[in-house]
A and B are shown apart, each in its own frame.
Chain A
């Protein structure tokens, strides 16, 4: 018994150290909770110094700034889970580009310099771009057309191309890129989650694209699995269950706020006019008009993963929150 305790105490030194970015977010918090104990976790966020459990050092730092390197000097980082990105509704386009693209560049360089053995990038399905001509069940090799849809998503696409360059140029970094579909659940603050939390939710008249949704707990499991199995590459993360957007809105207990879908300037104009930037931004309107459906088989088969929560489990949370607020 005593021997075991001793082993546990000295284990901290033998355990891998994992740097998790975006630590203030709902997804990163869950990932940290899953890693805690088995790994030494270092939490980082650009927004604030996150309150963490005992034994988890936490920093408020911007990746593109010089102070970021100190973390690598103070801790022997073995792996980086890059979850935090500035969402489009959180900052201006320039600042976002700096943080998300130049920040990532800095991150890759530091990983190289300090011999980090594994980097996991949390991307988004937005990179594929929403278009009327999209086939369904997009493979990972499908062209990334988001920058054709809008300038506001250029940072997402460039972050990926940067990650791809490092993926083949520096195989020792073991880079894995995950492209999840819409992630929802308690605490999640992306555009879709904010949107479905509202009582009145905008929908485009005559357009109800198919969508995929993933519970944030399932996504956290997927991230941890991808980290632990370490099989570098690019993977879609999505369930094989589908629902049209307007039906999802109903299932979440939202009231539909119909706005004309054509000509395309009308919804964009209404979105900017009513300042829906945070939850129905003008540049995302195409995603509420045309589908981006992912084929998640590669990830499922490679990592033996299957989401544990179904669509109804996901929507129940939004329905219940509205009921308890009423």
Chain B
């Protein structure tokens, strides 16, 4: 009799469902339900974002966010509850872990959760499964057309103006902001979108690179191949500081645009310094 009971239990046991049930808690469900994000009749948007997939991703990374990186976040009240917004952070740590953590912070914002869309590298769509998976979590290739269309539909976007220059830099250059691209400023001005600057502290220490194997990277067709102490992100404590919204009206020359980009860069540097002061220990 007992064996039969165990067998019938096993028969109805689905590992996938069990994991999903434990992962996607009612709190996660409630958060996603509050996100002002229109989707189609099957829960997808034009870029492949999917509500159900987003819930699973959010739930899984929320565990890392809370217990592994023990993220400490300030200034979440600056992220608007709805309407278009550009979140502009510094970039570091080889892997786009900073993008993920900012995404979790925005999605779990007690003042109003947002599904912030991260711009991903152009080669991701060519990678089987991973490309679709990143899309379903909200990742989109960083094409200006995508950004404009998303801002037009009042979405929140995360842009790293340093790009791979920031994420691929070596440990000795930590917390030194690299050159910023001007693209985000054009978006902000033309689409009348507020900029929320964000200083990320801690991600530099998740993957401290001592060297970059540039020839190998070229061979593999990837932006960089870092020499790191461990092949996974180390559990550094991460501090996120969101700044006040910055508004910019259109200007004519590229020189003026660059000046404004420098203003944002300075604000981010200030937020980084604030985070560094708040930090009591690296790990």
The interface of chain A, by Cβ under 8 A from chain B, is 132-133, 135-139, 142, 204-208, 210, 240-244, 247, 251, 261-262, 290-291, 293, 295, 310-312
Chain B residues with Cβ below 8 Å from A137 are 46, 145-146, 149
Contact check: which of B41, B44, B123, B143 meets A310 at CB < 8 Å?
Answer: B41
Contact check: which of A139, A204, A240, A311 meets B42 at CB < 8 Å?
Answer: A311
Chain A minimum-CB-distance residue to B40: A241
Is there an interface contact between A135 and B149, defined as CB atoms closer than 8 Å?
yes
Is there an interface contact between B128 and A133, defined as CB atoms closer than 8 Å?
no
Contacts A241-B41, A312-B41 hold; do A133 and B46 have CB atoms under 8 A apart? no
A291 to B126, CA, bound (A): 11
Is there an interface contact between A136 and B126, defined as CB atoms closer than 8 Å?
no
A241 to B40, CA, bound (A): 5
Is there an interface contact between B46 and A242, defined as CB atoms closer than 8 Å?
yes
Chain A minimum-CB-distance residue to B142: A135
Is there an interface contact between A136 and B149, defined as CB atoms closer than 8 Å?
yes
Chain B residues with Cβ below 8 Å from A241 are 40-42
Q: Say if the beta carbon of B244 comes within 8 Å of chain A.
A: no
State the main secondary structure of chain A at its contact with B. Answer: loop
Chain A minimum-CB-distance residue to B124: A132
Is there an interface contact between B46 and A136, defined as CB atoms closer than 8 Å?
yes
- Least Cβ–Cβ distance between A132 and chain B, in angstroms: 4
Is there an interface contact between A210 and B146, defined as CB atoms closer than 8 Å?
no
4 A-B pairs closest in CB distance: A206-B128, A135-B145, A241-B40, A135-B143
A53 to B14, CA, bound (A): 58
Is there an interface contact between A133 and B122, defined as CB atoms closer than 8 Å?
yes
Q: Could you list 9 further interchain pairs (A-B, Cβ under 8 angstroms) beyond the known A137-B146, A206-B131, A242-B46?
A: A132-B122, A132-B126, A135-B141, A135-B145, A142-B145, A205-B128, A210-B44, A243-B42, A293-B47
Chain B residues with Cβ below 8 Å from A204 are 128
The interface of chain B, by Cβ under 8 A from chain A, is 40-42, 44-48, 122-123, 125-129, 131-132, 135, 140-141, 143-146, 149
Chain B minimum-CB-distance residue to A138: B145
Contact check: which of A138, A208, A242, A251 meets B40 at CB < 8 Å?
Answer: A242
Between A and B, 12 residue pairs with Cβ closer than 8 Å are A132-B122, A133-B122, A133-B125, A204-B128, A207-B128, A207-B132, A210-B135, A240-B46, A241-B41, A247-B42, A262-B128, A293-B46
Chain A residues with Cβ below 8 Å from B44 are 210, 242-244
Chain A minimum-CB-distance residue to B46: A136
Is there an interface contact between B141 and A208, defined as CB atoms closer than 8 Å?
no
A139 to B131, CA, bound (A): 23
A136 to B41, CA, bound (A): 18
- Least Cβ–Cβ distance between A244 and chain B, in angstroms: 7
A261 to B129, CA, bound (A): 10
